[in-house]
Structure 1
Amino acid sequence: MHFTREHSHNFVAHNVDGEKRTVYVLVLTFITMVVEIVSGTVFGSMALLADGWHMGTHAAAFCITLFAYRYAKKHAHSDRFSFGTGKVSVLGGYTSAIALGIVALLMVVESVHRLLNPETIRFNEAILVAVIGLVVNVASMFLLDDHHHSHEHENDHHHDHTHHHDHNLRAAYMHVLADALTSVLAIVALLFGKFYGWYWLDALMGIVGALVISKWTIGLMKQTGPILLDENIDQAYRESVAEALAPEATVKDMHIWKISGHHYSAAMIIESNSGKSVDEYKQMLEKFDKIHHLTLEIHPGEA
């Protein structure tokens, strides 16, 4: 990476393939959502209803994912954003994580209600629909799994493994993974209820699913929250940067933070009497390839 005076502030890696696959999953999810909610209501299965509700919330989350992709692409070169729209994808992921958390909370509330007020369940019909839901979820997971697809990125820079940092697509994947989990739990609960009469297990599985989804929610928020809050890169990396400059300059102030899911910006103030120019110091830092935008200020050192 060469730090030049004239450079682009477009740090968006638009995942065209991911956007297209999200549309397919949205259509599948919406259709299955309608089927499961209607069937869960008719057949009296809380586990099936929970799965359908997940589908509905996740369909909304996929709309957020698509909006983030298209907004970031549309405004990629706008001067309204200091470092481009790279964080739009991260914000989409964070918002989807909140949606997951709301689903988990609703699951707990309804499951507790069902534990206290059991309802008659038509097991055969409910199991059939739950299996259909699981098949749809698994198909959606394969569609959204970045490890099985090639990617097209609209970007001014070349970066390897960019897909590992697409928090927007990662959030969509977590939603269908949560759906798959609740489908499995629903099937297990319905089978035990049918053959052993454990009606209470249907509601209990809803609580178990909510706890697991809550854990995923927290994990996704931990990934995206620090980026949105401009958290500094780890101390070891900053110390390495300071050491690279140490022979010629002393670092007085340094900030290195993410401006997208995979791009870092750095702002530094250094003291030096070496007579080197800003460009020369930037060349000394070229090996730190995580930094894609560098602002460097030089102050004269004490005589």
Structure 2
Amino acid sequence: MGAGHDHGRQVARAGEKHRGRLWAAFALLATFMLVEAVGAWVTGSLALLSDAGHMFTDVLGIGMALAAITAASRASRDGQRTFGLYRMEVLAALANAVLLSGVALYVLVEALRRFDDPPEVLVGPMLAVAVGGLVANVVAFLLLRAGSTESLNVRGAYLEVLGDLIASVGVLVAAGVIALTGWWYADPIVAVGVGLFILPRTYRLARAALRVLVQAAPPHVDVAEVRDGLRGLDGVADVHDLHVWTLTSGMEVASAHLTLDTGADLAPVLAAARQMLHDRFRIEHATLQVEPRDAEGVCGGAHW
């Protein structure tokens, strides 16, 4: 038994009404990401390059939100994809983390090299691009703010943009300091700050994605407590072959074999198990196999 398809439709409905705002924010930030990358190359600003890399996290984050909404709405259209395309979000997150780690490390190494002899940068174009990047982030922030309270995926994209706002302010400060004082060290210092801001976030993103891909139990779920909760239900004598994992962000899945007491009524036990998993552990999709006591040991469970 389970509620996987219902939850897929809930994911789709929660984000569907914000799809237009997500696409607008995606297009805006993707455009300014390219502007900042070109601006970094033209001006020689490492701070702009680091902010372009950080803005890339926003574009990927919003792209993953859109992909998750689309996957949720198409989850049941292909009979061979019994769990839909939810894992695409996780694979994209891992690729994002790997790529951004490379960008952040490059920025840090280049910044350290520049501390010996900081090169001049074209302050006027750098300042103009920094202002444009800040405006783009503010607009994207406003576009996503309403949906952040209703959809997990929109909230993730919203938090990405919020983080990039901080980086954009840092680049603007660096440009202003250079323009007013000619202190070229401001550029690599801000670049290091943004790089150090990116690395912990990419580490957490990669760790979360790998945890999903290796099918580990979600951090907020104690498997022993799940087993004890199922065993404590009226009519349940034992629990075995229990597995809990994450399909994609916000979608926890479980499977288990329940051995029933003699004379236990099947329907109430299943209903109670489903309700308990939902209320205590936020597990929306559970596949539960029930067995009478005399079938114990011959159910054919996996022995991995």
* Pair 1:210-2:203 in alignment: no
Q: Give the ranges of 4+ consecutive aligned residues of structure 1 lying more than 6 Å apart after TM superposition.
A: none
Contact 2:239–2:256 (8 Å) recurs in 1: yes
* Pair 1:45-2:45 in alignment: yes
SS of aligned partner of 1:82: coil
Where do 1:174-213 residues align within 5 Å? 174-213=159-198
- CA distance in 1 between counterparts of 2:55 and 2:100 reads 11
* Pair 1:300-2:293 in alignment: yes
Q: Give how far 1:183 is off.
A: 1.5
Q: Give how far 1:61 is off.
A: 5.8
- CA distance in 2 between counterparts of 1:252 and 1:245 reads 14
Question: Aligned AA for 1:48?
Answer: L
Partner of 1:105: 105
Contact 1:65–1:92 (8 Å) recurs in 2: no
Q: Give how far 1:206 is off.
A: 0.7
Question: Aligned AA for 2:191?
Answer: G
Contact 2:262–2:292 (8 Å) recurs in 1: no
Contact 2:223–2:244 (8 Å) recurs in 1: no
Partner of 1:279: 267
* Pair 1:36-2:36 in alignment: yes
SS of aligned partner of 2:255: strand
Where do 1:242-257 residues align within 5 Å? 242-245=230-233, 248-257=236-245
* Pair 1:70-2:63 in alignment: no
Q: Give how far 1:133 is off.
A: 1.0
TM-score (norm 1): 0.77
- Give the number of equivalent residue pairs: 283
Partner of 1:156: none
Q: Give how far 1:104 is off.
A: 1.7
SS of aligned partner of 1:276: coil
SS of aligned partner of 1:296: strand
Task: Give me the identity figure in percent.
Answer: 27
SS of aligned partner of 1:202: helix
What is the alpha-carbon root mean square deviation over aligned residues?
Answer: 3.2
SS of aligned partner of 2:119: coil
Tell me which of the two structures has the higher relative contact order, counting C-alpha pairs closer than 8 angstroms and 6 or more residues apart.
1
SS of aligned partner of 2:250: coil
Q: Which runs of 5+ in 1 are unaligned?
A: 151-160
Q: Deviations over 1:219-258 (max 9, x none)?
A: 3334443333322231364144234236641223322333
Residues 103 and 66 of structure 1: CA distance in aligned 2, closer, same or farther (over 3 Å):
farther
* Pair 1:241-2:229 in alignment: yes
Q: Give how far 1:210 is off.
A: 0.9
Partner of 1:157: none
Q: Deviations over 1:255-283 (max 9, x none)?
A: 23333433333222233441325434212
